Structure 1
Amino acid sequence: MALKGIKVVEFAGLAPGPFAGLVLADNGATVFRIDKPFQSSSSDILCRNKRSLAINPKIPSGLDVLKKVVASSDVLIDPFRPGVMERLGLGPVVFLGENGKVGLNEKLIYARIVGFPRTGSHKDMAGHDINYLALSGILSMLPGSHNRPTFPLNLLADFAGGGLLCTLGIILALFERNSSGRGQVVNVDMVSGARYVSSFPLMHFLNPSTGTFAAKRGGNLLDGGAPFYNIYTCKDGAFMSVGCLEPQFFNTFIEHFIKALPSDFKQRYGWVPNSSTQFDRNTWPELKNFLELGFHTRTRDEWTAVFMDTDACAVPILTPEEASQMEESGQSVPLPHPRILSKMNGAAQVIDLVPIELPPGKHTEEILQELGLTDTEYQRLVQDGAIEGTRSKL
Structure 2
Amino acid sequence: MSKPLAGIRIVEMAGIGPGPHASMMLSDLGAEVVRVVRPTAPEAEYTMTTHTLRGRTTVLADLKDPDALEGVRQLLDSADVVVEGFRPGVMERLGVGPEESLARNPRLVFARMTGWGQEGPLAEAAGHDINYISLTGALHAIGPADHPVPPANLVGDFGGGSMFLVVGVLAALFERERTGRGQVVDAAMVDGAGVLVQSLLELRRIGMWTDERQSNLLDGAAPFYRTYRCSDGRFMAVGAIEPQFYALLLEGLELDPAGLPDQNDQSRWEEVAEVFAEVFERHPREYWTKVFEGTDACVSPVLTFEEAPDHPHVAARGSLVRRDGSVVAATAPRLSAAGATPTPDGGVQELAAVADAWSR
TM-score (normalised: structure 2): 0.90
**Per-residue deviation, residues 242-300 of structure 1 (Å, max 9, x unmatched):** 011111111111122126xxxxxx9xxxx9744x5211123212111111111011110
Letter in 2 for 1:229: Y
Choose from 351, 355, 360 the match for 1:371: 355
Question: 1:117-266 counterparts in 2 under 5 A?
Answer: 117-144=117-144, 146-205=145-204, 207=205, 209-211=206-208, 213-214=209-210, 216-258=212-254
Aligned-residue sequence identity (percent) comes to 37
Given that residues 138 and 202 in structure 1 are in contact (C-alpha distance below 8 angstroms), is that contact kept between their aligned partners in structure 2? no
Moved more, 327-336 or 186-195: 327-336
Q: CA deviation at 1:350?
A: 4.3
Q: CA deviation at 1:370?
A: 3.9
1:279 partnered with 2:264: yes
Larger Rg: 1
Given that residues 333 and 353 in structure 1 are in contact (C-alpha distance below 8 angstroms), is that contact kept between their aligned partners in structure 2? no
In 1: Cα distance, 2:173 partner to 2:185 partner: 11
- When residues 273 and 173 of structure 1 are mapped into structure 2, their CA distance, relative to the original with a 3 A threshold, is farther
Partner of 1:341: 336
1:62 partnered with 2:68: yes
Partner of 2:302: 317
How large is the Cα RMSD of the aligned pairs?
2.0
Which 5+ residue runs of structure 2 have no aligned equivalent? none
- When residues 119 and 6 of structure 1 are mapped into structure 2, their CA distance, relative to the original with a 3 A threshold, is same
Runs (4+) off by over 3 Å: 42-45, 271-274, 327-330, 352-355
- When residues 370 and 354 of structure 1 are mapped into structure 2, their CA distance, relative to the original with a 3 A threshold, is closer
Given that residues 162 and 193 in structure 1 are in contact (C-alpha distance below 8 angstroms), is that contact kept between their aligned partners in structure 2? yes
Given that residues 10 and 77 in structure 1 are in contact (C-alpha distance below 8 angstroms), is that contact kept between their aligned partners in structure 2? yes
Which 5+ residue runs of structure 1 have no aligned equivalent? 97-102, 260-265, 343-347, 374-394
In 1: Cα distance, 2:18 partner to 2:294 partner: 38
Given that residues 37 and 55 in structure 1 are in contact (C-alpha distance below 8 angstroms), is that contact kept between their aligned partners in structure 2? yes
Q: CA deviation at 1:198?
A: 1.7
Q: CA deviation at 1:127?
A: 0.6
**Per-residue deviation, residues 33-77 of structure 1 (Å, max 9, x unmatched):** 110014550376511110111101111111111110111100000
In 2: Cα distance, 1:272 partner to 1:350 partner: 48
Partner of 1:11: 13
1:74 partnered with 2:80: yes
- When residues 172 and 224 of structure 1 are mapped into structure 2, their CA distance, relative to the original with a 3 A threshold, is same
Number of aligned residue pairs: 341
Partner of 2:34: 32
**Per-residue deviation, residues 143-201 of structure 1 (Å, max 9, x unmatched):** 22x22111110001100111011001000000000010001001111001111122111
TM-score (normalised: structure 1): 0.82
Letter in 2 for 1:364: Q
Q: CA deviation at 1:321?
A: 1.4
Give the SS at the match of 2:113: strand
In 2: Cα distance, 1:272 partner to 1:143 partner: 32
Q: CA deviation at 1:117?
A: 3.2
Letter in 1 for 2:266: R
Partner of 1:111: 111
Given that residues 331 and 340 in structure 2 are in contact (C-alpha distance below 8 angstroms), is that contact kept between their aligned partners in structure 1? no
Partner of 1:391: none
